[in-house]
Amino acid sequence: MTQYDAQPSREWWAQRWVDVLESFGWVRRLARARNYAREGNVLSIEFRGAKVHARVQGTAPEPYKVTLSLDPFDDEQWQYVIESLSQQAIFSAKLLAGEMPQNIEEVFTANGLSLFPFTKFDIHSRCSCPDPANPCKHIGAVYYVLGDRFSEDPFVLFQLRGRTKEQIISELRRLRSASPDAPPPEETLNPLTAPPVSASSAIALQTFWKYDQQLEPSLVVIAPPPSSETVLDLLGQMPLRSEGSTSGSVSAHAVNEYLRSLYSQVAQQAVLSAMTAGTRPEES
């Protein structure tokens, strides 16, 4: 089947939405719907609570009215899901950075839920057009345009299940702040010594991390590293003794592995510390 390509850079979670819908067997209807979406016939889309309201231009002079919703999760179900998300810093960090974690569906299935529609009966939609088929091409066009909205903001998908972006972020921050900090890594001997800082370049360490103003929560984004690459990968092999060197000396490979594990621990601790700091940074 030729996929809708109005947004070729669609994120994986938005493409998953499209793939799920196309798996329900509405081949001919969705083919016409893709054309409607490509041609810009979906004039507007807005949320009213957890329900989508759209206006789609068809053959009639007046646009047709389309409504679409999924079965929302109740408060208890959402509480289980958000608690599960908060227990892994990487999930919370990615969501706060506007990205859907790759294996987030496992969190929902572990709680007996499905983030995406499980069957066609999970989708409730209506159109004011005279076509008795559901989905008609107007509803189908809204399906595809919603996929593009998901690429721009993954929280739109959560809103269909009954929770807004603000509600989820607020609860994630509350739970992360309430959880105890992860124990700091044990102190180990650093094989490298930093050069002394000259008096002219000295930094007032007592006030370096101090900031007395309240931060705007919507501007605070905690993001994990974009890749596992560290400064070691950028600088290349360190000019130390090789594996076959004198007995008792530290090999270049051993030092690199030590530093790589150290950087990984520091990065993980930084994310955990940021998640538990709330919206106001703590003084060092």
Question: With helix as H, strand as E and coil as C, how does 206-228 read?
Answer: HHHCCCCCCCCHHHCCCCCCCCC
Helix (H) or strand (E) holding 51, with range, is strand 51-56
At 142 the pLDDT is 94
At 77 the pLDDT is 93
Cβ neighbour number for residue 261 with a 10 Å cutoff: 12
Q: How far is CA 231 from CA 188, 269, 277, in A?
A: 20, 18, 26
Query: Do 50 and 160 meet the contact criterion of CB atoms below 8 Å apart?
Result: yes
At 220 the pLDDT is 56
At 78 the pLDDT is 93
At 218 the pLDDT is 53
At 46 the pLDDT is 92
Show the low-confidence residues of the chain (pLDDT under 70): 1-10, 98, 179-203, 211, 214-252, 268, 271-284
Distance CA 45, CA 42 (A): 8
203-218 pLDDT tens trace? 677 777 776 776 665 5
Q: Which of 103, 94, 114, 109 is nearest to 172 (CA)?
A: 94
Complete DSSP assignment for 125-173: EEESSS--SSS-HHHHHHHHHHHHHHHH-THHHHHHTT--HHHHHHHHH
At 231 the pLDDT is 62
Q: Which residues of 90-105 are buried (b: 16+ CB within 10 A; e: fewer)?
A: ebbbbbbeeebbeebb
Q: Which residue has the tokens 């360490």?
A: 205
At 239 the pLDDT is 63
